[in-house]
Structure 1
């Protein structure tokens, strides 16, 4: 692949394994509500569509079912309070992330983080893990009215850096990342290790697939 002028990277499931914290908070929320504890393995299937959808999945143990509105209204502030205190207590960068970021920075590529996670959680998480300053822009799930797979967050970052779509690359772990990139006219690289609801990310037909961001020098050429 041709070396891009701008790279946007997803957060949960691409840069950071945030499920241990999310699962902890979901289970503590369910305990308060008298619901079953779901566990970390179940929570790994729920990430990627924002905090409200994650909470609904924790309540119903389903990707698509809707909880009773009154239950959700009670649950959401409980989860938000828990997660505000546990945003980065258990979360860790994936292996190869620092190497990948170092490579992209050494190449002089503009870097942004684009996530569906709310800014109140995104920014502290990036700061606690020591990579916030690596990004020229952070587009969170509530920065704009639209979230991925809508292309608006990607186009917003491209406009910020004044880089055309054909010189832009998205890196993510989910179908929504690939769809957002395609909708924006970006190239897209997918990682194999993230959260994609149990599906092989190759099914989304990204331009390339890597097992680690440390493999980027192999995939991208000057």
Structure 2
């Protein structure tokens, strides 16, 4: 239902990791498999969780740095190539939907709101995860970090998703879990809603979002109260 005098969004762009899915256990498994190849000890789930959100290359760089092995450009390129098949083996084994994700997407779809996923995760991986959980058919677009020249916090992926959906930034809301999503949304000229329970290292209230939701269960109602006028 629409709140009187309030114009809800026509489209929503979702972040993936930490927003729609809790993928940290799978990503940790992939990182530790990579580190083991280099003879390095495993990192903990909290350590890896703090590294998620800025793309696989940054994840690898930070994981090796935390293990005491800084990588130069060529070595990082090689580690990224080694990581690619490992990453694809750890997509859905331990990953779970965030609370309320399936219900919120079903409700928003029923309301006729266009939806897309904009993630720094490789697009093939993102589509596989969304397909596994039965969500890919609800998305009018899936934009991975490898589909654009600049990942979030740059707005490139958001602009690509808007083009594919056929909607304007002024009618669209970004839903994420971190400052990366806030920065990208602001650069794209759209409001942003953050959901608790993700991977941010900074309290959500300090990130400057338009709204903060306790969970995705609250998202449809919160969006109806978001004034885009």
Offset at 1:32? Answer: 1.6
1:32 corresponding residue in structure 2: 37
> Which moved further from structure 2: 68-77 or 177-186?
68-77
Tell me if structure 1 keeps the 8 A contact 2:116–2:142.
yes
Q: Please tell me whether the aligned partners of residues 192 and 200 of structure 1 are also in contact (alpha carbons under 8 angstroms).
A: no
Matched positions, count: 219
Find the residue that maps to 2:147 and give its secondary structure.
Answer: coil
Moved more, 71-80 or 24-33: 71-80
Tell me the CA shift for residue 74 of structure 1: 4.0
Q: State the 1:66 CA deviation.
A: 4.7
Match of 1:100 in 2: 104
Runs of 4+ in 1 over 4 A off after TM superposition: none
Question: What per-residue deviation string (whole Å, max 9, x for no partner) do you get for residues 72-91 of structure 1?
Answer: 34432332221222211111
Aligned with residue 44 of structure 1, among 38, 46, 49: 49
Question: Structure 1-normalised TM-score?
Answer: 0.92
Q: Report the equivalent of 1:4.
A: 9
1:204 counterpart = 2:212: no
Using the alignment, how far apart are the partners of 2:222 and 2:100 within structure 1? 14
The whole-number CA distance in structure 2 between the counterparts of 1:22 and 1:221 is 34
Structure 1: distance between partners of 2:164 and 2:89: 32
Q: Retained in 1: the 8 A contact 2:140–2:164?
A: no
Q: Distance in 2 between matches of 1:219 and 1:174?
A: 18
Return the offset for 1:165: 1.6
Tell me by how many angstroms 1:212 deviates: 1.1
Structure 1 unaligned segments of length 5 or more: list them.
Answer: none
| Stretch of structure 1 that moved more, 134-143 or 70-79 | 70-79
Tell me how far apart the structure 1 counterparts of residues 81 and 155 of structure 2 sit (CA, whole Å).
29
Show the counterpart of 1:110.
114
Matches within 5 A, 1:16-165: 16-61=21-66, 66-69=70-73, 71-165=75-169
Structure 1 residue 131 displacement after superposition: 0.9
> Which residue of the partner structure matches residue 218 of structure 1?
221
Deviation at 1:169, TM superposition (A): 0.3
Q: Secondary structure at the match of 1:133?
A: helix
Structure 2: unaligned runs, 5 residues or longer: 1-5
Q: After superposition, what is the alpha-carbon deviation per residue over 1:92-118, rounded to whole angstroms, capped at 9, x for unaligned?
A: 101110111012111100000000111
Distance 1:168 1:128 in 2: 26
Shift of 1:217: 3.0
- The Cα shift of 1:71 comes to 4.2
